[in-house]
C-alpha cells in the first residue's frame, strides 16, 4: 500500500492536469457554441446532434481513436495531447446542452423586460440570460466534471499518465491495493471538483460573496498548480528522461521496470515510464519518438506489422527479417534480444489434457465443435489466431474475449476449455495447465526484443550500449518465475525486477 501511495503525487498531478485543462477547454468551446445556437436557430439541431454522436462513442474508443488521428496529422499521438483532446470533446455535450436548455428556458416575459429596459443583445445575454440560465449551465458543468475525472482514468492506455495507471496495472498484476488507491483517489478528486463548482453556484445564487470567493480562489489555485507543473519541464534544463514504455500486462511491467533500473544504474540518466499502453500504441509511440524503449516480440512484428503469415519461420530467420524491416521502414532498432520467447500458445487444464489425450493442437481438431476458448482482448483478432484456425482447420463452439487476468480464473473454473496463453506466463504452472504443441508451426517465434527509437540510437550511445549488454541475459525460466512472483505471489513488478538485476552483477 505505501508503495502505491508513493506514486500518488505523480499520478494525481497528471490526472488533475488532464482533467482541469480538458474541462476548461470543454467549457470554452461549449459555452460560446451554446450561446450561438440560441441565436442562430438552425444551428441547434446539427450542433447538438454532432455533440450527441460524439457522446455515444464509447469513451475508451474515443480516446483510442485520437491516436491514429493525431498521428495522421503529424502531431504528438500518444500521451497528454490525445487524452486531452478526447476528454475535451467528451465534456462538450453536457455543458453545451445545458447552456442551450438554460437560455431557452428563460421566461419570455423576462426576455421582453430585458429588451424593454433598453438592453442591447449583448447586455441581455450577460445581464439576464446567462445569470438566469446559470443554475442549469452549472448542473451541466458538474456532470462534465464528474465524467471527465472518471473517463480520464482511461487515458492510461494511450500513454497519458493518470490515476488509471493504478487501475490498469493493478488489474493486470492482481494488485488490488493499487486498484483501490486509483478508484478512491479518482472518486475523491471528482467529489472535490464537483463540490467546488457547487460552491460557486450556491454562492452566486444566495449572493454569498465569501463562498464564491473561497471556491474561486481554490479553483484558480488548482489551475495555477496545473500550469506550473505542466510548464516546469519546459524550463528545467535537466535532461529529458529516457522514456520506457510498457504494454498492459505483467511481463511488460516487469521488463519496463527492469530496463528502467538497468539504464539508470548503467548510465546514470534519469528515466521514466509510460505504462499500460495499448499494443499498437506502444509501437506508434516509439516510431513517433514519444517513448524511447520498449520490449516487443519478433512474432508480433512479423505477423502484425509485416503482415507475414508464412507458416514455420525459424527463430533466426524471423529475427533477421524483423530487424531489417524495423530499421528500413520505421528507423527503429533492436538493441538486444533478451534470450527468451514469449509465444502465444493454446493451453488446456492438465487433467483435461490427460483425460482426452491432448498434447498437440492437431488433437483439438476432431473435438473442436464441443470446445470453448477464452482469449485476451487481442487474441481472436490477431494474425496468430487466424493462422492457427486456417492451418489446422479448427472450429470451436464458442470464443470468448476476456481480460487476461480473468482468463486463468475462467479456465480453472471450467468456464472455458481452452485459453490463449503466453509461454512465459507463470500461471501456466500455478494453475496446472498444459501448453499444446504447435505441431504444424502455425505460430511464428516470439523472441523478446528491446526496441529503441532512432533518436536514442543516435543521441544516447551509452544507453544503447547498456541495453546491448542485456543480450541473452533472461532465459524463459527466469522470465516465467518473475511473472509468477507478480501474478501469483502478488509482489510488486519493480521489486521483482530489482531482485533480478542484482543477480546480473556489475557487467562493466
Partner 1 sequence: MIELQHLTKRYGDQVAVSDLSLEVTEGELLVLLGGSGCGKTTTLKMINRLIEPSAGSVRVDGEDVSQLDTHELRRRVGYAFQQVGLFPHLTVGENIGITPSLLGWTEDAIRHRVDELLALVELDPETTRDRDPSELSGGQQQRVGVARALAAKPRVMLLDEPFGALDPLTRGRLQDSFIRIRRDLGVTAVFVTHDMVEALRLGDRIAVLDHGRLVQVGTPGTLLREPADDYVRQLLDTPRREARLVDALLSHGPGPDSR
Nearer to partner 1, 31 or 356 (CB): 31
Nearer to partner 1, 130 or 230 (CB): 130
Nearer to partner 1, 115 or 360 (CB): 115
Rounded-to-integer distance, Cα 473 and Cα 469, Å: 8
- First-residue to last-residue Cα distance in the chain: 35
Minimum distance, C-beta of residue 102 to partner 1, in the bound complex (Å)? 13
Minimum distance, C-beta of residue 215 to partner 1, in the bound complex (Å)? 18
| 420: helix, strand or coil | strand
Minimum distance, C-beta of residue 281 to partner 1, in the bound complex (Å)? 48
- Residue 80: left (phi > 0), alpha (psi -120 to 50), or beta? alpha
Residues forming the site for partner 1 (CB under 8 A):
109-110, 112-120, 123, 127-128, 131-132
Nearer to partner 1, 205 or 323 (CB): 205
Minimum distance, C-beta of residue 250 to partner 1, in the bound complex (Å)? 57
Grid cell listed for 25: 477547454
Q: How many CB atoms lie within 10 A of CB 73?
A: 9
Nearer to partner 1, 109 or 234 (CB): 109
Nearer to partner 1, 122 or 508 (CB): 122
Minimum distance, C-beta of residue 36 to partner 1, in the bound complex (Å)? 21
Nearer to partner 1, 208 or 240 (CB): 208
Minimum distance, C-beta of residue 109 to partner 1, in the bound complex (Å)? 5
Grid cell listed for 31: 459555452
Place of cell 470468448: 400
Minimum distance, C-beta of residue 95 to partner 1, in the bound complex (Å)? 20
Rounded-to-integer distance, Cα 475 and Cα 480, Å: 9
For residue 228, report the phi and psi dihedrals to the nearest 5 degrees. Answer: -65, -45
Q: Where are the alpha helices (DSSP H) in 40-73?
A: 44-56, 59-72
Q: How many CB atoms lie within 10 A of CB 63?
A: 26
Place of cell 495507471: 165
Place of cell 488446456: 348
CB of 308 closer than 8 Å to CB of 443: no
Minimum distance, C-beta of residue 112 to partner 1, in the bound complex (Å)? 6
Distance of CA 429 to the CA centre of its chain: 29
Nearer to partner 1, 130 or 327 (CB): 130
3-state SS string for 68-86: HHHHHCCCCCCCHHHHHHH
Amino acid at each position: 500500500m505505501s508503495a502505491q501511495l508513493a506514486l500518488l503525487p505523480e499520478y494525481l498531478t497528471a490526472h488533475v492536469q488532464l482533467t482541469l485543462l480538458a474541462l476548461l477547454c470543454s467549457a470554452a468551446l461549449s459555452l460560446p457554441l451554446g450561446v450561438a445556437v440560441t441565436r442562430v436557430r438552425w444551428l441547434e439541431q446539427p450542433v447538438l446532434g454532432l455533440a450527441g454522436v460524439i457522446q455515444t462513442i464509447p469513451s475508451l474508443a474515443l480516446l483510442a481513436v485520437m491516436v491514429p488521428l493525431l498521428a495522421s496529422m503529424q502531431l504528438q499521438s500518444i500521451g497528454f495531447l490525445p487524452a486531452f483532446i478526447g476528454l475535451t470533446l467528451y465534456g462538450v455535450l453536457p455543458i453545451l446542452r445545458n447552456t442551450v436548455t438554460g437560455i431557452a428556458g428563460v421566461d419570455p416575459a423576462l426576455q421582453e423586460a430585458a429588451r424593454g429596459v433598453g438592453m442591447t443583445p449583448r447586455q441581455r445575454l450577460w445581464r439576464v440570460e446567462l445569470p438566469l440560465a446559470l443554475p442549469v449551465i452549472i448542473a451541466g458543468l458538474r456532470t462534465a466534471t464528474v465524467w471527465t475525472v472518471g473517463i480520464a482514468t482511461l487515458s492510461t492506455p494511450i500513454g497519458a499518465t493518470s490515476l488509471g495507471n493504478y487501475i490498469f496495472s493493478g488489474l493486470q498484476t492482481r494488485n488490488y491495493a493499487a486498484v483501490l488507491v486509483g478508484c478512491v483517489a479518482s472518486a475523491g478528486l471528482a467529489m472535490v471538483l464537483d463540490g467546488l463548482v457547487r460552491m460557486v453556484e450556491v454562492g452566486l445564487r444566495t449572493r454569498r460573496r465569501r463562498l464564491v470567493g473561497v471556491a474561486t480562489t481554490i479553483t484558480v489555485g488548482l489551475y495555477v498548480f496545473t500550469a506550473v507543473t505542466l510548464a516546469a519541464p519546459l524550463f528545467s534544463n535537466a535532461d529529458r528522461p529516457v522514456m520506457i514504455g510498457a504494454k498492459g500486462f505483467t511481463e511488460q511491467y516487469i521488463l519496463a521496470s527492469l530496463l528502467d533500473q538497468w539504464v539508470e544504474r548503467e548510465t546514470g540518466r534519469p528515466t521514466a515510464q509510460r505504462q499500460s499502453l495499448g499494443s499498437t500504441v506502444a509501437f506508434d509511440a516509439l516510431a513517433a519518438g514519444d517513448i524511447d524503449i520498449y520490449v516487443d516480440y519478433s512474432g508480433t512484428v512479423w505477423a502484425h506489422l509485416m503482415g507475414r503469415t508464412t507458416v514455420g519461420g525459424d527463430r533466426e530467420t524471423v529475427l533477421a527479417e524483423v530487424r531489417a524491416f524495423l530499421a528500413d521502414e520505421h528507423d527503429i532498432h533492436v538493441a538486444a534480444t533478451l534470450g527468451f520467447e514469449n509465444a502465444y500458445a493454446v493451453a488446456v487444464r492438465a487433467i483435461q489434457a490427460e483425460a482426452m489425450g491432448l498434447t498437440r493442437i492437431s488433437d483439438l481438431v476432431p473435438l473442436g465443435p464441443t470446445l470453448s476458448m477464452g482469449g485476451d482482448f487481442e487474441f481472436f483478432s490477431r494474425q496468430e489466431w487466424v493462422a492457427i484456425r486456417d492451418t489446422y482447420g479448427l472450429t470451436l463452439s464458442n470464443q470468448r474475449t476476456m481480460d487476461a487476468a480473468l482468463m486463468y480464473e475462467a479456465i480453472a473454473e471450467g468456464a472455458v476449455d481452452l485459453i490463449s496463453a503466453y509461454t512465459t506466463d507463470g500461471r501456466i504452472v500455478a494453475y496446472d495447465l498444459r501448453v499444446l504443441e504447435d505441431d504444424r508451426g502455425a505460430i511464428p517465434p516470439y523472441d523478446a526484443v528491446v526496441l529503441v527509437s532512432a533518436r536514442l540510437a543516435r543521441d544516447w550511445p551509452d544507453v544503447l550500449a547498456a541495453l546491448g549488454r542485456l543480450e541473452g541475459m533472461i532465459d524463459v525460466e527466469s522470465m516465467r518465475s518473475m511473472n509468477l512472483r507478480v501474478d501469483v505471489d502478488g509482489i510488486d513488478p519493480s521489486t521483482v525486477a530489482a531482485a533480478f538485476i542484482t543477480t546480473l552483477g556489475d557487467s562493466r
